[in-house]
Amino acid sequence: MATCPQGHQSGADDYCDVCGTQLAAPAPASQPAPAPAAGPAAGSAAGSAAGSAPAAAPAEACPICQTPRAGQFCEVCGHDYSGSAAPAQAPVMGAATGARWEVVTAADRTYYEKVIAEGGPDAAAMAFPPYCPERSFALHGEQVRIGRRSRARNLAPEIDLTGPPEDPGVSHLHAVLLAQPDGSWMLVDPGSSNGTQVNGKVLKVNVPVRVGPGDRIHLGAWTVITIREGTP
């Protein structure tokens, strides 16, 4: 039998048979766990479920070369989207930069005297021209050939040194400027009769070398070609 708090013996377990005092507190009813509060993620998920997400904005294009933007600087032309100066880097040439580059041909008396002093087989027949105007040729396309045109070989180089005056030491196909993917240029001598020099260094046949603004290319008996940035 159960004993109530007043000391009475009760035959019931919940309330005392004598005084009616509650013998034990009822166990609290189990409460369901509260649902988690809806946060930003839940709201986002609800929004996604309610309707489709808005379409992504189109990628920004470079205002110079129209290449899709992938960072602060354009991967092709180096344009700075922030409006500040572009990072310092070696100058490049070609259509990819949007700039116009050119070569200027002229006669170099010092080089001519060096050639004559070396006593080549045709040195005695080579005379320095009394007048040789400068001529400029724009660099564009995948390759720019340097030489003298030949009808027999159907050859018309982009940098035509036929003259007048004509440098007899220049081969019909003397050298070739090759455009590179990064906008720079390489110079190669495919096997000219009298060789090619860049800044005083003789090129090896079929071994391209990089050239840039200010470089001086010597060939023939007195011809010098200087690379520079042209005017738009």
Residue pLDDT, tens place only, 90-105? 344 444 444 478 999 9
Structure tokens at 39: 């946060």
Read off the pLDDT band of 24 (50, 70, 90).
low
Read off the pLDDT band of 75 (50, 70, 90).
low
User: What is the Cα–Cα distance from 82 to 178, expressed in whole angstroms?
Assistant: 33
User: What is the Cα–Cα distance from 190 to 53, expressed in whole angstroms?
Assistant: 60
Determine which helix (DSSP H) or strand (DSSP E) holds 10, and give its type and residue range.
strand 9-10
User: What is the Cα–Cα distance from 168 to 39, expressed in whole angstroms?
Assistant: 85
Q: In the chain, what are the domain boundaries?
A: 58-89, 95-229
Type of residue at 79: H
What is the mean predicted confidence (pLDDT) over 64-74? Answer: 64
User: What is the Cα–Cα distance from 73 to 80, expressed in whole angstroms?
Assistant: 5
What is the mean predicted confidence (pLDDT) over 64-69? Answer: 66
2 phi, psi to nearest 5 deg: -90, 150
What is 95-229's CATH number, 3.10.20.30, 3.40.640.10, 1.10.10.10, 2.60.200.20? Answer: 2.60.200.20
> Is the per-residue pLDDT at 224 higher than 90?
yes
Radius of gyration of the chain measured on its C-alpha atoms: 43
Q: Going by C-beta distance under 8 Å and a sequence separation of 6 or more, which residues neighbour residue 85? A: none
What is the mean predicted confidence (pLDDT) over 40-50? Answer: 44
Read off the pLDDT band of 191 (50, 70, 90).
very high
- Name the 3-class secondary structure at 124: helix
Distance of CA 134 to the CA centre of its chain: 34
Determine which helix (DSSP H) or strand (DSSP E) holds 181, and give its type and residue range.
none
Contact 24, 13 (CB under 8 A): yes
pLDDT in tens, 104-160: 999 999 999 999 998 766 777 788 999 999 999 999 899 999 999 988 888 899 999
- To the nearest whole percent, how much of the chain has pLDDT over 70? 62
Phi-psi region of 225 (alpha: psi -120 to 50; beta: other; left: phi over 0): beta
Q: Going by C-beta distance under 8 Å and a sequence separation of 6 or more, which residues neighbour residue 52? A: none
pTM comes to 0.57
Mean pLDDT for the chain overall: 76
- To the nearest whole percent, how much of the chain has pLDDT over 90? 42
Structure tokens at 38: 């809806």
